[in-house]
Amino acid sequence: MKAKQIASNPERKARKRARKNDVRDLVFLHGWGSGAGIWDELARRLAPRFRVHALPLPGYGAGSACAVRSLQAMVDAVARAAPRRCGVIGWSLGGEVALAWARRVPHQVRRLALIATTPCFTRRPGWPCATAPEVLHEFGQSFAADRAGTLARFSAVQAKGDARARRVAGVLQHFSERSAPSDVLKAGLAVLSDADLRRDLPRVRQPALVLHGARDRIVPPAAGRRLAAALPDARFALMRTAAHAPFLSQPGRVARALREFFDE
C-alpha cells in the first residue's frame, strides 16, 4: 500500500501541474461605465502566476468608439480579441458578457469567475432580485440630462456600505469620467435592460466562482446565490464587508480566491 502511494504522488503532482498550465491566460471584463484600467491592481497581483488580459468592452478604450447594441455583439468582439483558451473574470456587465461567451464559445472559455454578476439585471416575473425597469429608465434619463453628475452618483452607490467606501468610490469615479462616449454607455444600458440569460445557465458547464459583496446595492447578493445555484458547476463566495466592487475594496482577498480557483 505504501509503495503504491509513493508511486502515485508524482502522477498526481504532474496532473496538478498540467491543470495549472492549462489556464495560464486570464481575461478580465469590466463593468458598465468603467474601463479596463479598473483591473490594474488585481491584475498586478495575479500577473506573477498568470498572463493577464484586461480587455475593454466594445466602445471603451482608445480607438474604439462604436456603440455595440447587443450582448451577442459584445461577446463576438471579446472572443475575437481573447486568447484561444482562457479563464475569464467578469464584473457586473462584464460578468453577463462572460456568461454569454461561455455559453456561445465553450471551447474558448475554460473557467469563469463572476463578480457582482446577475443573469438578469432587470426585475421580471419570477426574478425579484433585480432593478425595477422604471428605475433603470429614470437612470437613463438622468444620464442623458447630466452625464457627469449621474456617473458620480452611480460611483457613490456602487461603493455605498463598503468598509472602504471612500477609496472605492474614488477609483470608480476616476474611471467613469474616462470610460466611453455617451452613445456607448447608452447602448450598454439597453443591453442591461434587455439581457436575460436565465434559460442559458444550465448549459454553462464550465467551473464557476460566483463572488459577491454582501452590501451590494446594484446587484443584490440573492441574485448571485441564484446564479450559482442555477449553474451546473459553481460555488458561491460572499464578502461580508464589500459592496458592488469587492476587487477594489479587498484586492488581496479577491486575488487569493481567484488564484486558488484558477489553479485547480
d(CA 5, CA 27): 38
Active-site residue identified among 92, 176, 179, 249: 92
Active-site residue identified among 53, 155, 216, 249: 216
30 is an active site residue = no
248, burial (CB in 10 Å: exposed 0-12, middle 13-18, buried 19+): buried
If residue 36 lies in a helix (H) or strand (E), which one and from where to where? none
Alpha helices for the chain (secondary structure H) = 2-22, 40-46, 71-81, 93-104, 133-145, 147-159, 165-176, 182-194, 221-230, 246-249, 251-263
d(CA 216, CA 211): 11
Active-site residue identified among 30, 53, 212, 244: 244
Task: Please identify which residue in the block is written with the cell numbers 475575437.
Answer: 80
216 is an active site residue = yes
Q: Which three cell numbers stand for residue 103?
A: 455559453
Strand order of the β-sheet with 51-55 is 51-55, 25-29, 86-91, 109-115, 208-213, 234-239
162 is an active site residue = no
If residue 91 lies in a helix (H) or strand (E), which one and from where to where? strand 86-91
Q: Which amino acids are annotated catalytic?
A: 92, 216, 244
